Amino acid sequence: MPLFGKAKDQTTNKTENDVRHVNNMKVEDKYELKEILGTGAFSQVYLAQNREILCEMVAIKCIDKKALKGKEDSLDNEIKVLRKLKHSNIVRLVETFEDRNKVYLVMELVTGGELFDRIVEKGSYTEKDASYLIKQILEAVDYMHSQGVVHRDLKPENLLYYSADEESKIMISDFGLSKMEDSGIMATACGTPGYVAPEVLAQKPYGKSVDVWSIGVIAYILLCGYPPFYDENDANLFAQILKGEFEFDSPYWDEISDSAKDFIRHLICVEVEKRYSCKEALAHPWISGNTANEINIHSSVSEQLKKNFAKTKWKQAYNATAVIRQMRKLAMCNSNNSTSQDDSTNICSK
């Protein structure tokens, strides 16, 4: 059964219905919803615990059907894309539920926080660290592209650390604007100002390379703490992007390697046919070789990040606290179970 409305034809629509498969149980029967982790225009995201496998914590995106009316295809597309993608650096869709009023997306829980926040909190940060971060993003996006998916909204807010561990991997999230290449020509202007490719602004047909441009912008910011294109006026900002005008300003780029600058020039390249693919970017010496400097650039980068990407932290602090509090409760519960029930079944086992 499709997520919204009635199936037009049970025979011809079978494959699509399989892709959209919704769990027949009620979401509350399987998961206990706890604190709110975030709120969007059409949805709320809750921290939740599996009632059967107590050590499994997830994030559940609860989407209001009334608020989404007229945009049902967008949700169906997001679910189709998420079901298709299975990669260690992409936030996983576990399963879906639906009732009369809402659709529920049960997502893999990531608890490490946003990319820029972690960099600011670090004591040391080098080009080598930035190179490794970009490598992980490129590998995930290369896989995505191999599956015929274009993200179309890659930006720092959609890059999350999997856990609070210092060596945690980075995860790509939010596929609300993603598109399957086989679903038709892409020409819709979408994305986030500052990260969007020039061909999108020019309203020309575009493809996978728009994601590579966005990765180039992210790489630039990771090395200096400010964006390559900026203007308070959107028209002026878009004019900069269309021309591909950016600089490696002194003193912020003085200690950054020529290899890093060369890498960025090949990604933030207006001519689509000359812009690197993900595979070409992965083969660049700054990613695959040893050309990334190991000079500590934390002081200047973190100062610029705080200056240029300042935002209200209270909601994020609350979200992090909610997850930590539930994890501690879970750890205490597990500890009590293990000491009082020597012969009990492992709660993590299915």
Is residue 61 marked as binding?
yes
**Residue 45 near residue 91, CB atoms below 8 Å:** no
CA–CA dist 215, 210 (Å, integer): 9
29 is catalytic: no
Which residues sit opposite 93 in a β-bridge? 107
CA–CA dist 82, 177 (Å, integer): 12
DSSP 254: T
175 token code pair = 């596929």
- From the list 211, 210, 173, 183, the residue with the least C-alpha distance to 82 is 173
CA–CA dist 141, 162 (Å, integer): 17
* Residue 128 Ramachandran class (φ > 0 left, ψ -120 to 50 alpha, else beta): alpha
CA–CA dist 198, 243 (Å, integer): 8
DSSP 182: G
Residue in 73, 153, 174, 262 annotated catalytic? 153
CA–CA dist 223, 244 (Å, integer): 18
- Residues of the binding site for ATP: 61
User: Which are the catalytic amino acids?
Assistant: 153
